Amino acid sequence: MENLSAEQEALIPVYREKWRALALSTEPVNRQQASEAVKSAYSASGLKPPQILFYDSPYAAFNTVVPLLGTLLNSQLSAQLRGCLESELSSDQWDVWEQLSNRLWEQLGGEFNSNLSAELNSRLKKQISDVLSECVQPEVWACDGSWLDFCVSVLNGNITQIKWQAYQDIVKYCGWILPYEMICLVCNRPRRLRFDSQQRLHAEGEPAIEFADRFCVWAYHGVRLPEKYGKFHPHQWQSQWLLKEKNAEIRRALIGGIGYGRIVQELRATELDCWQEYTLLRIKNRVDVEAIYLLKMVCPSTGHTHATRVPPDVKSAREAIRWVNWGVDPEEFSAQT
């Protein structure tokens, strides 16, 4: 099978949204349903049922597991269940994987997963990559689940139904899981997830991910922030923070929230050239990877200041205006207007 039919193509968004809703659910975990899902998954993987413990957040569960890494034996649940299901698909279904991957995986929880994993690493102050690699993360399983579901339901793929049902129940009824031979730690889902219009984790003055035990992650348009920034609304952010922040990605997020208009005023930009109501400015302090050059315009009627970043190799305000106007000289632009 080389190409999907038009009818099959039309179903891709349906399966993506179905599994995205599961991946980003904030419904509290029902312990009875979660326990049954874990037992079914262990049984379908040929493993004995474990003792099941529940935690309010992944942070609480990881705090339990990290000190015991030397004594716990991993159950290989992911390999026995997720890996086996994928291996059962025919070569025809694998042939369409590249056609499906980007469209089915899109917006299924990657932002949530990467930000939460980074926060756990930061909070625990230890190398926990081994724990993360063995952790069952439903939003990650949902990515593969959307593809498996499409292959089974639309492409008539044939996989073991007991394992497939167990797989679906894990995603439906559980938060993050730390599965071991005799014990399984099940985390609750976050109470709140907040996103921007592009489905990136984002909140202003409040957590983007928040759990019942107050473990949380702060993010601004997908960039994970330290709490010292995230707990303030961007209107309260200070340009002086840029002078001390060493992380380039966080600096850019701060710049976006503060805005060049405020940065110009608060960091005392140097005036390089003027043309009518336009001024070319340079910020002396090194607040980004390369020097910041700005074209400032003061609206004659309102007095409002607007600043746009321009390349550092522009020599004059007029040249900066041409760059902003896609090569059109300001006098020519005025004539055309």
Domain ranges of the chain: 6-193, 253-336
**H helix runs in 154-299, sequence order:** 161-173, 227-230, 241-244, 248-258, 260-266
Please choose, from the candidates 44, 39, 42, the residue with its C-alpha nearest in 3D space to the C-alpha of residue 162. Answer: 44
What's this model's pTM, rounded to 2 decimal places?
0.81
Torsion of Cα atoms, 123 then 126 then 129 then 132, to 10°: -50
| CA 283 distance to own-chain centroid | 31
Position 285 scores a pLDDT of 63
The answer to whether 50 and 75 have CB atoms below 8 angstroms apart is yes
d(CA 189, CA 181): 23
Contact 84, 160 (CB under 8 A): yes
Amino acid at 92: D
Low-confidence ranges of the chain (pLDDT < 70): 1-2, 69-76, 90-108, 126-127, 285-286, 333-337
Residue 169 has phi, psi (to 5 degrees) of: -65, -35
Average pLDDT of the chain, as a whole number? 86
How many other C-beta atoms lie within 10 A of the C-beta of residue 278? 19
Pairing label, strands 177-179, 183-187: antiparallel
Structure token digits, residue 143: 């990515």
pLDDT of residue 40: 96
